[in-house]
Amino acid sequence: MKIIHCDNVLTPAGWKTNQEVGIGDDGTIAHAGSRKSIADIKVDLLLPAPVNLHSHTFQRAMAGLTETRGPSETDSFWTWRKLMYRFLDRLNPDHIEAIAALAFVEMLEAGFGSVAEFHYLHHAAGGQTYDKLSELSDRIVAAAEATGIGLTLLPVFYEFGGCDRRPLDGGQLRFFNGIDRYEKLHAEASATIARSFGDYRIGIAPHSLRAADSEGLSDLLHLRGGGPMHMHIAEQVAEVDEVKAHLGARPVEWLLANHEVDEDWCLIHCTQMTGEETARLARSQAVAGLCPITESSLGDGIFDGVNFFAAAGRAGVGSDSNIHISLFDELKTLEYSQRLRDRSRAALATTEKSTGRALFDAVVSGGAQAAKRNCGGVEVGKLADFIGVTTDNHHVGHLRDDSVLDGLIFGGIGSGCITDVWSAGRHVVSGGRHTERDGIVAAYRGVLSEIGAVA
């Protein structure tokens, strides 16, 4: 058993001082209590490491390539999407694995202990299938194994180009599967997951109501096998209008009325919801998967966090497009969006918890639920997903308990205070750097030199 000594630790029972945590050989927490053993490592502050519940790793290599105005009067999510399709046509399996590994390294260094990878890039350019249908899913698993990050793989079902059931074309052809081929792909990917680390999981991910019709959604349910169900929903106004025109109801409204949405579901974005939809989603116990940095970047809109959390809604955060990977900045952006909209302060704080504590607790719990991962707290039996933080600095050294989280999130220096990260007991970040950073960065730089800049 590996022993961590910590001056302060955030537990489900609150803050505790002068503690030790023991990690068993199976990657779970075998012991937690007052110091009594010789330490293998010491950290100032120990936190549970949240799940990054929504990521498209290949988009990490697009960062910095989409910030110029196109020929249209107004750039939007839809013009960005066209650029993304042109970009992905350049990527081969080796590129995709190297980009994913770089993104996973940055996630771990940012404090995420695991990731739910919403993986919809399945085939070669033009839609040509690989000899093994799960080739690119397997590459995501290989990248995760190389970095040690926890993984919930979400192979995406993507059948149509819109609610009118139009066929996919262009860059979208790399996403396409009918239900029979998707079932085979999912079975192959499941076998790969079964041969990997014991904490790895697989789920189901219909891309959206535009890409999967009602019949397709129903067909997918039998594949879940206890895994999570993730889906994009109500991200853009145009998406809401299209779904309403074809299905007669808004996306969240239609989904809640036609499917048994429960705690096994994670609905991504939810930035275009009415007050009634917000309340109903909270009551469903599904997780709202929020990606505040990407939602800001793409002009999606502002999630109604104030009313959703007031109704006991469950939520987590993800890095989505991976334009900037930072756990603490995702939380800050979420809170600041509420303040800007309502002209308020401490919008998501409660009478019991500061803003930072309320946000952090929410995403630790919500992310674990969304990924169906046995993490979410420093307590015996849970996976040892931890963040080690140094307080030996002028930024947070004077802060105590909840105010430390407030400083890490809102002080602009949170990621720089992270010294160590564990994922299922794998000590993957030490001294603020991933243990395999140099080789993974070198491979990524090679990919960038090969693919060049998108036209």
Tokens for 164, please give them: 């009118």
Marked catalytic residue, from 95, 119, 269, 434? 269
Q: Catalytic residue at 427? A: no
Q: How far apart are CA 350 and CA 328, in angstroms?
A: 19
Pairing mode, strands 41-48 and 2-11: parallel
Q: How far apart are CA 236 and CA 256, in angstroms?
A: 18
Identify the three-state secondary structure at position 38. Answer: coil
Ramachandran quadrant class, 376 (left: phi over 0; alpha: psi -120 to 50; beta: rest): left
At 256, which helix (H) or strand (E)?
helix 251-258
Q: Catalytic residue at 300? A: no
Contact in structure between 231 and 251 (CB atoms under 8 Å) = no
For residue 444, what are the CA distances in angstroms to 94, 238, 424, 434? 10, 35, 25, 15
Marked catalytic residue, from 264, 320, 385, 420? 320
Helix runs in 43-134, H state only: 77-88, 93-110
First to last CA, the chain: 53
Tokens for 97, please give them: 């694995």
Tokens for 199, please give them: 């904490």
Contact in structure between 398 and 406 (CB atoms under 8 Å) = no
At 362, which helix (H) or strand (E)?
helix 355-371
Q: Considering Cα of 187, then 193, then 198, then 203, what sign does the dihedral take?
A: negative
Contact in structure between 234 and 271 (CB atoms under 8 Å) = yes
Catalytic residues, which ones? 269, 320
